[in-house]
Chains A and B, each alone.
Chain A
């Protein structure tokens, strides 16, 4: 370092950096696509797609098994398969071979067979193209309309949050295998995803066969994007922001840990329990019930 450096850096007098901001953004976009421009309710999904793309840019181990016995290339084909079913349900273009069976695993196998004949880079591109095709279609859809891709009925906005969660979790799976640390989404993207997960809790109890319809939970999720929810365990009621209601049990945990628990990644997860311990144990058992591959 020299004193001259200070004139250059600290006072930023001479030389001025060239006004090449626009040139930079254009060059950057051609090397990795920015997040698709979408209505605000879909930005958590667009953000996770961009993050998966960033992971794939640094991934070197395409032929090693990541999860479910699938290589990274097969995992990306799986994401494209489920995105394709959603695209079909909302009237967006479906890329790749036409959908044979409208079911997640069947479509996954179709696309995996197709993608295995191609290079990882081609698979990355067709996955990204399918995700961007969904995003490009969203300004024209009603987010509250219920559709049932692969037989699962949710409002379109919740399907996008479900796709966000799955894309996020698999990006994290792949990052771990490649020795990379995946930063969290921004808080504004985590919060709606956590809200979606909170609303799924009564369904996980129902699907697991626990009868708790008269019980209630207060869920306090900590960290950026967290919040406080009142969750009746009856699927005819919807979880809502906590407003001082009494609850049978209060659960406090990290918001990202909670989303991952619902997504089937509960290893090492803990929460603080106040109140009914056995209800808390049932909730923990049931939590991953909706997480598929």
Chain B
């Protein structure tokens, strides 16, 4: 059973106070998210594992760098993970450039990526709005607020199996209305 959604502020207080169990809870709650994020950016499971561990250790070592007044713990950890993963990819690119030479190695276009992402976000938002209420509720929690299916189940007071099947169904409908992107 995953740890229940707990208050970021309390988790932060406990980590500052050196409570190892709080770090364990933090890990149970966010490890899948952080690891998944690092895998998507680096496309390398071993590297992503190291990055994920480093994100949690960094938070443990310097917990006062995080200020709950300024945002959620989830967003904070995700930001560190993303930054580290991007740093890794850039370092790899530099390595490739120096091995292959700048003419042979072509850097992926970052601007293009950003535009595509923004465009996709708009299309997804429109597609989500057309979902039936029950599906829209789970997808909004999962997609926009980054909840896991267990957290969705808890927040909506529905069984986990129901949350899971609604997310699946919602995703299928979204994929259809987005023109056949089949996850």
The reply to whether A34 and B18 form a contact with Cβ atoms under 8 Å apart is: yes
> Cβ of A186: which chain B residues have Cβ within 8 Å of it?
10, 13-14, 17
Interface pick from B93-101, B129-137, B144-152 = B144-152
A53, closest chain B residue (CB): B18
> Cβ of A15: which chain B residues have Cβ within 8 Å of it?
35-36, 39, 45
26 A-B contacts, Cβ less than 8 Å apart?
Answer: A1-B121, A3-B171, A3-B174, A4-B183, A6-B167, A7-B171, A11-B149, A15-B39, A17-B35, A18-B49, A20-B53, A23-B53, A24-B23, A24-B53, A24-B57, A28-B20, A28-B23, A29-B20, A31-B60, A50-B17, A50-B18, A51-B17, A57-B62, A57-B64, A175-B64, A185-B13
- What is the bound-complex CA distance between A2 and B135, given in angstroms? 17
Interface pick from A119-127, A176-184, A259-267 = A176-184
> Cβ of A17: which chain B residues have Cβ within 8 Å of it?
31-32, 34-36, 52
The reply to whether B68 and A12 form a contact with Cβ atoms under 8 Å apart is: no
- What is the bound-complex CA distance between A189 and B14, given in angstroms? 11
> Cβ of B68: which chain A residues have Cβ within 8 Å of it?
183
Closest beta carbon of chain B to A23's beta carbon, Å: 7
The reply to whether A27 and B57 form a contact with Cβ atoms under 8 Å apart is: yes
The 8 Å CB contact of B20, one of A3, A34, A182, A189, is A34
The 8 Å CB contact of B19, one of A23, A35, A53, is A35
Known: A11-B164, A50-B16, A58-B65. A6 touches B49 (CB 8 A): no
Any A CB within 8 A of the CB of B9: yes
> Cβ of A1: which chain B residues have Cβ within 8 Å of it?
117, 120-121, 124, 143
A48, closest chain B residue (CB): B17
Any B CB within 8 A of the CB of A40: no
> Cβ of A18: which chain B residues have Cβ within 8 Å of it?
35, 45, 49
Any B CB within 8 A of the CB of A47: yes
- What is the bound-complex CA distance between A228 and B155, given in angstroms? 34
The reply to whether A8 and B16 form a contact with Cβ atoms under 8 Å apart is: no
> Cβ of A189: which chain B residues have Cβ within 8 Å of it?
17
The reply to whether A58 and B62 form a contact with Cβ atoms under 8 Å apart is: yes
Q: Which of A50, A58, A184 has the most CB of B within 10 A?
A: A50
Any B CB within 8 A of the CB of A65: no
Any A CB within 8 A of the CB of B69: yes
Across chains A and B, which 9 residue pairs bring their CB atoms closest together, nearest first?
A: A50-B18, A35-B18, A10-B142, A47-B17, A8-B36, A17-B31, A28-B60, A31-B61, A17-B35
Known A12-B148, A50-B19; 16 more pairs at CB < 8 Å: A1-B117, A6-B171, A7-B171, A15-B35, A16-B32, A17-B34, A23-B53, A28-B61, A32-B60, A34-B20, A51-B18, A58-B64, A175-B64, A183-B13, A185-B17, A189-B17
Closest beta carbon of chain B to A44's beta carbon, Å: 9
> Cβ of A9: which chain B residues have Cβ within 8 Å of it?
32-33, 36, 142, 146, 148
Closest beta carbon of chain A to B20's beta carbon, Å: 4
Q: Which of B36, B39, B117, B146 has the most CB of A within 10 A?
A: B36
The reply to whether B13 and A10 form a contact with Cβ atoms under 8 Å apart is: no
Closest beta carbon of chain A to B153's beta carbon, Å: 11
Closest beta carbon of chain B to A14's beta carbon, Å: 9
- What is the bound-complex CA distance between A2 and B124, given in angstroms? 9
B139, closest chain A residue (CB): A6
The reply to whether A7 and B18 form a contact with Cβ atoms under 8 Å apart is: no
> Cβ of B80: which chain A residues have Cβ within 8 Å of it?
none
A19, closest chain B residue (CB): B31
The 8 Å CB contact of A2, one of B34, B57, B120, is B120
B60, closest chain A residue (CB): A28
Closest beta carbon of chain B to A7's beta carbon, Å: 5
Interface string of B35-57 (1 = CB under 8 A from A): 11001100001000100110011
Any B CB within 8 A of the CB of A243: no
